[in-house]
Amino acid sequence: MPPKPRINKQMILDASFAIVREQGHEMIGARTIAEKLGCSTQPVMYQFKTIEEIRKETYKLADEYHTGYIMPKGDKGYDPLLELGLNYIRFGYEEKNLFRFLFQTDSFAGLNAAALMSDPGTAGMLAMVSSKAGCTEEEAADVFFSLFVSAHGIASLLANNSMEYEEDVFRKVLENTYASLAE
């Protein structure tokens, strides 16, 4: 019976995720992962056929982390949709490399607004907006998308520049956007 591999897939993905957070997605490679794990490149490439496969699985990990990060927790007393937007913006500021990996690496190539809005993860938010604003889900989708675009723009500025994080200012922008759309 061959010995059990010392380096497993999860260890490789965890190392790749850490590399993205610390150094950026451009640094995902067999050598950098092996260095992070303190091994040769052989165990890395034994567990995965290609670096692209590692990249895709790391993307899934980053997406799960992002989802947990941005979901409203209700600890600030904000409207859940406002809290979601502010968490998204804070993610762009605090997790610059992950933000760029998730949202600025052509992952949405070929998608349109309707495809983004039909994502299963969006359904719960649309139901919440619909009930809170007393509107149809279609109207809620319009509000949600406009808030998403506003939050994404601010988060992109923070992730790509040395702009200061000013929660009060960003909250006001999202509140104004929401108020103008809810009329």
Q: What is the DSSP string of the chain?
A: -PPPPSS-HHHHHHHHHHHHHHH-GGG-SHHHHHHHHTS-HHHHHHH-S-HHHHHHHHHHHHHHHHHHHHS--SSS---HHHHHHHHHHHHHHH-HHHHHHHHSSSTTTT--HHHHHTSHHHHHHHHHHHHHHT--HHHHHHHHHHHHHHHHHHHHHHHHS-PPP-HHHHHHHHHHHHHHHH-
Amino acid letter for position 21: R
Mean pLDDT rounded to a whole number for the chain? 88
Q: What was the pLDDT predicted at 2?
A: 59
* pLDDT digits 0-9 by tens, 145-183: 888 899 999 999 999 988 899 999 999 999 998 888 766
What's the average model confidence in pLDDT over 56-66?
95
Cα–Cα distance list, 174 to 3, 32, 40, 44, 115 (Å): 56, 39, 48, 44, 23
Look at the chain and count its residues: 183
* pLDDT digits 0-9 by tens, 8-32: 999 999 999 999 999 999 999 999 9
Output the CA angle 152-88-28, nearest 5 degrees: 85
Does 1.10.3720.10 match the CATH number of domain 9-59?
no
What is the C-alpha to C-alpha distance for residues 86 and 175, in angstroms, rounded to an integer?
10
Residue 42: pLDDT band with limits 50, 70, 90: very high
- Which has more confidence, 144 or 70? 70
* pLDDT digits 0-9 by tens, 83-140: 889 999 999 999 999 999 999 987 766 667 777 777 776 777 777 767 766 778 787 7
Please check the confidence at residue 44 and state whether its pLDDT lies above 80.
yes
Q: What was the pLDDT predicted at 143?
A: 81
How many CA atoms within 13 Å lie on the side-chain side of 162? Answer: 0
